[in-house]
Structure 1
Amino acid sequence: MISVLNLAKRFKDFQAVKDLSFAAQAGEVFGLLGPNGAGKTTTLRMLSTVVQPTAGTAKVDGFDIRTEKEAVRRNLGILVESAGLYAHSTTREHLRYIGNLHGLDGAGLEKHINYLIDVLDMHDFADRRAKGFSRGMVRKVVLGMALIHDPLNIILDEPTQGLDVVSTRAVRAIIQRFRAEGRCVILSTHHMDEVERLCDRVAIIHRGEILATGTPAELITRFGADNLETAFVEIIGAEALLREAEREAADTTRR
């Protein structure tokens, strides 16, 4: 279980996250949704103990992210959007290395490596070096690295971003398996169809604040929408989304 209580983060004059509170339960996929710049990534970085909160706290299976960081890391697996691999190391070597960092070794570690290779369908590239891996292959290996210590709590940041249809379906099946195994999953994604399919409950945040929480079906009904994407636009506000799109277009033009 991951519980968040009045969590906040300020960077100099910018308040990135404002007084967030929510709880993600064991056996649940909890969606954390919002436009770019809403505070999702900062929130996830605080939960993973990478960023120190300015105020408030969170607990992972009862361990405080401020005062019990090592225990939090032992009980949490994290897949971040920007994660990469060492080009000259194999899939198996990546998994073994991260396992060693968690204090795992010997036959038990090798057994779990083989289990992850099987579950994530990585047999074809288990002993290949990562150089030249497709994006789908990289995501599977990084997901395996996040799971090597068998955590009961998992954070997934855009797990299907840039994947082909086959790889996307595989990752979604894995997330459903996590729920069936009783794990707590926090999922951050821009794919609303994915959220409707996978998430038991969601929190929608904008400018660092939670605007709405509930099941996808509850939010659709509450805002008189046909689907979650339409409800999301209603909650965030079409004007705010338009401004975000204009900023992204301007950034792309400058690059």
Structure 2
Amino acid sequence: MTEPKPIVSWLTDMDGVLAQEEKAIAGAPEFIERLVASGRRFLVLTNNSIFTPRDLRARLAVSGIDVPESAIWTSALATAQFLDDQRPEGSAYVIGEAGITTALHNIGYIMTQRDPDYVVLGETRTYSFEAITKAIQLIEAGARFIATNPDSTGPSPAGPMPATGSVAALITKATGVDPYFVGKPNPLMMRSALNRIEAHSETTVMVGDRMDTDIIAGLEAGLRSVLVLSGSTRREQIERFPYRPWRVVDSVADLVELV
């Protein structure tokens, strides 16, 4: 076995790794401070497509975590980049909030209900039956179906709430058309993040709290993946999966010395 190459850059999930319900997880402010001070290239990744990077920076700042806006990479940004690569200056019918609509506007996409190239499903706290019906009709008429991420539920103060994956399943059931999911665990999101910071998979580490999204996405993108136990996956669940993380730690506090 060859020795792993030195760690040059980092990708890290946000919820469950850096913060939980707008409260910083132990070691997260210090971890980000060390990354910034060291000059290492890094990105904070999230499947959340509701918010823009500016919004997310402000939310993290409330938690005491100072992440530059340019260091935040969302599934909405990855989706916009994918569509810009596939069909530049196209059109889309969008279900979602500022995160995805702003990202699509910024690449020159037109938002329309009339014969769009794509139906783009993002996350929102206010899914409407009317909007979902329109999406079904447009897909039936030939629009391509894209979704920002496959997460079936998302957190809320009252408990789990339906997220993009659940609504996508409803649309698929009605149309027989499966969406292309851009966000994790699709390694495409990891590759787009690596390209954004001009990093190489062999010298980059992915930090996440979910075996079924963060760790497998890192693995399939050729990254060393670290599972933190401060979020979704518990230690006893790790053995259920046919793949393993490179390392398992309690929280990012255990990674500060590696930066």
TM-score range, shorter chain: 0.3 to 0.5
TM norm structure 1: 0.34
* TM value normalised by structure 2: 0.33
